[in-house]
Amino acid sequence: QPRDRDYSDLCQLPDLTEQTLLENLKARFERGHIYTYVGSILIAVNPFKFYPIYNPKYVGLYQNQRLGDLPPHIFAVADAAYHAMLRSRASQCVVISGESGSGKTESTNLLLHHLTALSQKGSYGRGVEQTILSAGPVLEAFGNAKTKHNNNSSRFGKFIQVNYRENGMVHGALVQKYLLEKSRIVSQAKKERNYHVFYYLLAGASDEERRELHLSRPEDYHYLNQSQCYTLEGTDEAFEYTRLMQSMEMVGFNLDKRKRLIRVLSAVLHLGNIEFSKKSTYHSDEAVQVKNPEVLSLISSLLGVKEETLNSALTTKRAKAPGETLVISYKMPEAIATRDAMAKCLYGALFDWIVMQVNHALLSAKDFREHRGNSIGVLDIFGFEDFGDHNNFEQFCINFANEHLQNYFNQHVFKYEQEEYQKEGIHWKNIEFTDNTGCLSLIEGKPHGLLCLLNDQCNFSGATNAMLLQKFQNQHKNSPFYEVPQKRENAFLVHHYAGRVKYQIKDFKEKNLDLMRPDVVMVLKSSSVALVRELVGADPVAVFRWAILRAFFRSYHALKKPASHGRSIGGVKKPLSYKRTDNLVANQGVSSSRRSSFGVSGCQGNLGATSCPVHRGDTHLCANEARVMERANQIMMKNRHTRSRSRMDKGLKNLQSVKTVVGKTHPHPQQRTGRKQPPTVTAQFQVSLSHLMEALSQANPFFVRCIKSNADKVPCSFDEKVILQQLRYTGMLETVRIRQSGYSVRLPFEEFIQRYRVLLPRGLISSRSDIRDFLHRVNLDRNNYQMGKTKVFLRESEK
């Protein structure tokens, strides 16, 4: 390869080897070209530096351009997916993959920016497009954190589905989240931090908020000071707090919601500062008590619970015995574990609630039913991780998800394509690739995969992590994908597609169960703060449905008095307007027993015929749920002939919209069965992954492979060893080979005629011989196309 030339598409390399591939990427990187194509696949090398190639000029430049006509760019992929959706009327997806720190989240944000710009047709910052863009900073603040490998690491996965009308305009979106890393709430490794939002809050809160919430410095909180890392280079966290509040407002979090939310955040921080000491009484030498009751008092005030009941829940547990209930004091490790479990539960539930609120803001009326076609999904999921001797349960789940994504890539780039060549009978020599199905079988195979063994052990209260490790080794010691450490330690190794990773077995069982003591749950359910009760509600559908009804009644009573006085605009009286929802209850398939579980707090699970308790901050409603629903329906029926008002419609979305929102946030709610405990974390995660892979399989994929330029996050530094390792385990050399030799354009005969009708002679029918004769006449290079049994196969250059 000439030194003075680089190729924007690796398929153009005249001499394809591992070295020429690496040299080409390096030459482009040194010229400031961080994007390179492999056919329609985009390679994005993270420079750890901002380049001015994302302004409105570039947005306009890449609109309505064929992939490859302009220099490689993330905007070009977004444009290609958008126009493929409009052309085919079928769902598209963009799968962004790479290890932690490779730039996946930034690539996601840029993709969404361009997709919304395409919809707005030059009208920036309006409507649902702006809501989609504002959701990003909100989710990042609560779900991203600094790690050793990445200053803005996503500690959860998300799949954002942007839905379009037939004219190409955005009309709604949905966010699905996967596996928030809750253990980060209570502890972090050296040089790492907790979630961004805590530091934003402490840096940017007003004086009034500081007094009201008793906020201090990060150094003063146990949940923030363990790693001795408090700042993020190049980040003004007070500014980020202001930006977060503005973004939340754009997504529909009003001032009241934001205030309630930061009260919970403050409570989580202060929970970590609760200390325990041993009681000095003669009969309880191992029992503990709260050492600093003033912190307990502060937390009980923030959460709206009684100090005595919170103290009891953190230091004792109740156990049932024949004819009596025993109160057993916690020992020190149990008390600390209960405190930390409470903090993790609160934050995890808060994150779910935020995603649910975001989805409610992003939904349009047409999204209430399951959306089909005319959508583009963007997947931004946690990257492959290897922290040496410090990998744990979280890394195991993250890398399991990445195995699935690599398998999806292999299937689409290698397996399906080569199977189609064979099926169509064209001349083709198979290209070998590294298949990772064996590793997936090790992890999730039934009945003896690692996840099955883990979940089985979680069903036995006496099982330990050491026993689990022994089961792993007994079952899989001869597997080529499993390895026992050479020196005796509580760990095991898995041979992933990206390399060998050692996992410490410590806390696997506890993290998989992710349980919180019933005593603590009951304390939170008794809270006088509506949000706290909602966060621990047993039924998220009921909780969210009640929130909508509560908002409706507030709006109705606020507007009723002005309306009765004939309030007018421009001299014309405006009647109250409500959207007709005749079948809000009766025809939604909700049984009476199901409705009875719909309580004001969403926590106790049953109102029966009793009156609702009145809590501060709630609308004064004391009728049971059936009467409330009936009254709501009467009011809406009374106003059914009036024109809808958009502000009121927000609060009157029907039951199906609520089910849609909650279903996407909680795709696998716990079933009310006779199970003794809820589904494990990995069981739920497997269901989520299964749904994700099903959604991806039904869409036409575009791939963005993110590459980390160096391990130390140094700007504009190209570490050949680090990059070569990533190119190898992603199978990039084989990918270039199949893209060079393969036929990326595969059109059925009828579609070929429809697409190239202008060039074809009149009367041409969709027969193999007619199309073959036409291709001969236009003098296409015979090496660049082949005729199959039912399709025309073209190389990208002949498209």
Specify binding-site residues: 98-105
Give the span between the Cα atoms of 480 and 698, in whole angstroms. 32
Give the active site residue among 109, 134, 150, 527. Answer: 150
Q: With CA atoms as reference, report the closest residue to 418 among 434, 432, 430.
A: 430
Cα-based distances in Å from 611 to 556, 599, 626, 771: 21, 10, 12, 76
Residue 101 among the catalytic residues: yes
Is the distance from CB of 153 to CB of 145 less than 8 angstroms?
yes
Residue 304 among the catalytic residues: no
Kindly provide the b/e burial profile for residues 233-250, where b requires at least 16 CB atoms within 10 angstroms of the residue's own CB: eebebeebbebbbebbeb
Six-digit token pair at 489?
A: 């330690």
Cα-based distances in Å from 439 to 91, 101, 452, 614, 693: 30, 24, 14, 55, 17
Q: How many CB atoms lie within 10 A of CB 432?
A: 9
Residue 154 among the catalytic residues: yes
Cis peptide bond N-terminal to 613, omega within 30 = no
Residue 385 among the catalytic residues: yes
What DSSP letter does each residue of 348-361 carry, written as one string?
Answer: HHHHHHHHHHHHHH
Q: How many CB atoms lie within 10 A of CB 417?
A: 18
Give the active site residue among 385, 394, 417, 534. Answer: 385
Residue 216 among the catalytic residues: no
Give the span between the Cα atoms of 303 and 301, in whole angstroms. 6
Give the active site residue among 39, 68, 101, 377. Answer: 101
Side-chain half-sphere CA neighbours of 395 within 13 A: 24
Residue 116 among the catalytic residues: no
Six-digit token pair at 308?
A: 């005595």
Owner of token pair 């649910």: 356
Give the span between the Cα atoms of 784 and 683, in whole angstroms. 47
β pairing state of 153-154 and 791-794 = unpaired
Give the active site residue among 39, 136, 383, 731. Answer: 383
Give the span between the Cα atoms of 37 and 736, in whole angstroms. 9
Give the active site residue among 46, 147, 154, 639. Answer: 154
Residue 150 among the catalytic residues: yes
Give the span between the Cα atoms of 484 and 392, in whole angstroms. 16
Give the active site residue among 107, 151, 153, 654. Answer: 153
β pairing state of 375-380 and 92-97 = parallel
* Chain length of the chain: 799
Owner of token pair 């809050």: 201
Give the span between the Cα atoms of 57 and 799, in whole angstroms. 27
Cα-based distances in Å from 43 to 103, 467, 745: 11, 44, 20
Chain CA centroid to CA 307, Å: 36
Is the distance from CB of 138 to CB of 248 less than 8 angstroms?
yes
Give the span between the Cα atoms of 124 and 711, in whole angstroms. 37
Residue 383 among the catalytic residues: yes
Burial class (CB in 10 A: 0-12, 13-18, 19+), 557: exposed
Give the active site residue among 24, 46, 91, 100. Answer: 100
Residue positions forming the annotated binding site for ATP = 98-105
Give the span between the Cα atoms of 514 and 665, in whole angstroms. 18
Residues in contact with 152: Cβ distance below 8 Å, sequence separation at least 6, in sequence order: 105, 106, 140, 144, 146, 196
Side-chain half-sphere CA neighbours of 198 within 13 A: 31
Q: With CA atoms as reference, report the closest residue to 274 among 315, 306, 241.
A: 315
Q: With CA atoms as reference, report the closest residue to 596 among 639, 636, 628, 633.
A: 628
Give the active site residue among 105, 131, 682, 744. Answer: 105
Q: Which residues are catalytic?
A: 100-101, 105, 150, 153-154, 383, 385
